[in-house]
A and B are shown apart, each in its own frame.
Chain A
Amino acid sequence: MKSITDDRNPRNADAASDADGDAVEQRLLAAVGRGDRIAFERLYLRQHALLVRFIARHTARRDLIDEIINDAFWVVWRKAAEFRGESKVATWIIGIAYRCMLKALRQNVPPVEQDMDEGFELAGTESGEAEQRELSDWVRRGLDLLSPEQRMTLELAYYLGQSCDEIASIMNCASGTVKARLFHARLRLRNSLPALGGDDDLAANAPVRK
């Protein structure tokens, strides 16, 4: 019988492959620390799409997305030799990109409106595009309800698949803070966000137990 949690993120469905990926990236990063440009290029290409997706949630400006990614990898190039394996390589890079993004967004006020439809293609097949768009709009409305910290925490968890400890490391806070932010974010979503597709009992009206 199919388990209730079987539909969870496939990223976890193959933990061994995830570990293999990190081992590959650790080798690449070690080579980058020795000045290996080919390894640097491979690492850049491995992380690029993920970082674009993450940063694009905060700005639709491609020039700014490019600048943030390159600022982050500029730090990666210079600091690779100092990486001591306290976290996954991807988490380390995301943390750097996160700080670069905060800095870039602060310097580029007012914050750019998130307009994911402009310049980016929605995922999915042509036939499912409308559904994907509806789902994305629903998510966007939900994220708009949250504080910046809550939104970022949710994005790191659901967009990049980071664990609680990894998010704490990236956001430089305690794991308890991560849990608290997520708790309040979800409470807000559950009580405020109309359910998608009219399934009212799913979100809007369900009581919260604590």
Chain B
Amino acid sequence: MNHAPNPHRETWDLIPWIVNGSATAAQCDSVEQHLRECADCRDEFALQQQFQAGMQAAATGAYDPQPGLQRLFARIDAEPSVLDSGRPPSMRGGRRTPWLAAAVIVQAIGLALLAGMLLGRPAPELAAQPAADAGYRTLSSATAQRGATIRLVVSPDTSLAVLRHLLGEARLQIVESTADNAAFGLAPSDASLSTSEDRTARSVAWLREQPGVLLVEPIVSPGTAH
């Protein structure tokens, strides 16, 4: 049997990919060569070009994407755990559900408890201080056990996800908190990171530019403040 390639069929099959621009250069050359000799395939090529042009012309989006984007951010804020897990959890459903809001609250409480534990745990260099000192601290007290270098106050409506994003970008962590969690003392998240005034100043400058940050200032330790 003769299995010689049928140039009409090959060209016919390639025409859509030529028209939509996804064909290779060799495919373009092959089709072009055939079209020079074949009026039927030229007609088909013209028809498909016309059809594609018609589809492209059908509608254009005079459509502001911002409202939808803001709704999506609000939806993302309702599920902050995505930022924390190394592998994002699988999609659990298309619509926000009340338990998501509950999860946010539980996480916030967890953060507050963690901050409380950190405050309540005496650091070695402070262990000998009077017990009255260990129970309560304010951010205006002497530098915290783990050396807070920055004081941060964020707007009340800042989500936990945004706060974590800010800290992650600045490579900072919360080492102090006021009793009402309205203000935080921050320190480099990695012990190997510098606590120099220069780095602190850079972090402060960056944080001041972020939305939702109400106050950020360097904490001057008693040893350096004169």
Contact = CB atoms under 8 A, between A and B. Distances in A.
Interface string A12-36: 1100000000000000000000010
A78 B18 contact: no
B55 A82 contact: no
Interface stretch (B64-72, B114-122, B177-185): B64-72
A183 B15 CA distance: 10
Given A35-B168, A77-B82, A163-B17, A53 B28 contact: no
B5 to A, nearest CB: 13
Interface extent on A, as a size class? 35 or more
The residue among A8, A120, A142, A203 with the most chain B CB atoms within 10 A of its own CB is A8
Contacts of B68: 48, 66, 69-70
A93 B196 CA distance: 43
* Secondary structure class of chain A's binding surface, majority of residues: helix
Contacts of A73: 72
Contact of B59 (A100, A116, A203, A210): A116
A5 interface: yes
A135 B65 contact: no
The residue among B19, B41, B47, B58 with the most chain A CB atoms within 10 A of its own CB is B58
Given A66-B68, A70-B75, A206-B40, A159 B56 contact: yes
Contacts of A201: 43
B226 interface: no
A201 B88 CA distance: 56
A139 B55 contact: yes
Given A77-B76, A157-B16, A122 B46 contact: no
Given A116-B58, A139-B51, A8 B88 contact: no
Contact of B62 (A121, A135, A206): A121
B36 interface: yes
B61 A49 contact: yes
Contact of A158 (B52, B61, B87, B89): B52
Interface string B11-23: 0110011111111
Contacts of B56: 123, 158-159
A162 B63 CA distance: 23
Interface of B: 6, 8-9, 12-13, 16-23, 28, 31-32, 35-36, 40-63, 65, 67-69, 71-73, 75-76, 82-83, 86-91, 94, 161, 165, 168
26 contacts: A4-B35, A4-B45, A8-B28, A9-B21, A10-B21, A12-B23, A35-B83, A35-B161, A44-B69, A45-B69, A49-B60, A52-B63, A74-B72, A81-B86, A82-B88, A116-B58, A116-B59, A120-B60, A122-B60, A142-B51, A159-B55, A186-B48, A195-B47, A202-B47, A203-B43, A206-B43
